Structure 1
């Protein structure tokens, strides 16, 4: 019998604008490092940070809920000039947030 994965709750957002700015810069760095830097990466990082900020301001602390909101809302983004998709970006955001909490994404909380 499989054991469900416990939800991961982010700490309350003290300064959501600063958190979103951190995420935008961290995601942009990841996007530019993972493949080749592309001009569209800035717009992708900005849009993902906007979605993240709004979710946090609306009281969303569940990482899974934020991940789903990112996938849903980034479906409206034009990824035709990018190597990435909404799923890759949402997963990268999740990994960045987990690492910021000290949790290695591949291995869990330990």
Structure 2
């Protein structure tokens, strides 16, 4: 049996708002580049960044826990005008955060 994948703990940040702003911008760029630039992408990125900010301020620093929180809370978002859904967005956030930490999202083990 393979050993379990170790948890990824996100570092603390001196400026949580700047971190959320970075995520909003990075996610918007990813959404626009992955398929087509759509107006709803800005709403998705904004909502996701707000959830991220609140979760981090509430003490969620485990990447897996953060992704689960994003999926759960983004279920309330209306994705009907988008190519995306809550799982795709949460996975993109995970990849963006891992890349920012200098980790390869595909081969972090």
Give the TM-score normalised by the residue count of structure 2: 0.98
Separation of aligned partners in 2, 1:2 and 1:99: 24
Q: CA deviation at 1:24?
A: 0.1
Unaligned 5+ runs, structure 2: none
What is the alpha-carbon distance in structure 2 between the residues aligned to residue 90 and residue 49 of structure 1? Answer: 11
Q: How many Å separate the matches in 2 of 1:13 and 1:58? A: 13
Segments of structure 1 that go 5 or more residues without pairing to the other structure are none
Instruction: Report 1:5-24 matches (<5 A).
Output: 5-24=5-24
Cα distance in structure 2, aligned partners of 1:48 and 1:105? 19
Supply the distance in 1 between the matched residues of 2:68 and 2:13 (Cα, whole angstroms): 19
After TM superposition, the runs of 4+ consecutive aligned structure 1 residues lying more than 6 A away are none
Q: CA RMSD in A?
A: 0.7
Equivalenced residue count is: 109
Deviation at 1:98, TM superposition (A): 0.1
Query: 1:13: how far off?
Result: 2.1
Aligned residue number for residue 91 of structure 1: 91
TM-score by length of 1: 0.97
Aligned ranges 1:22-41 → 2 under 5 Å: 22-41=22-41
Report deviation, 1:59. 1.0
What is the CA–CA distance in structure 1 between the aligned matches of 2:87 and 2:14, rounded to whole Å? 27
- Aligned-partner SS, 2:11: coil
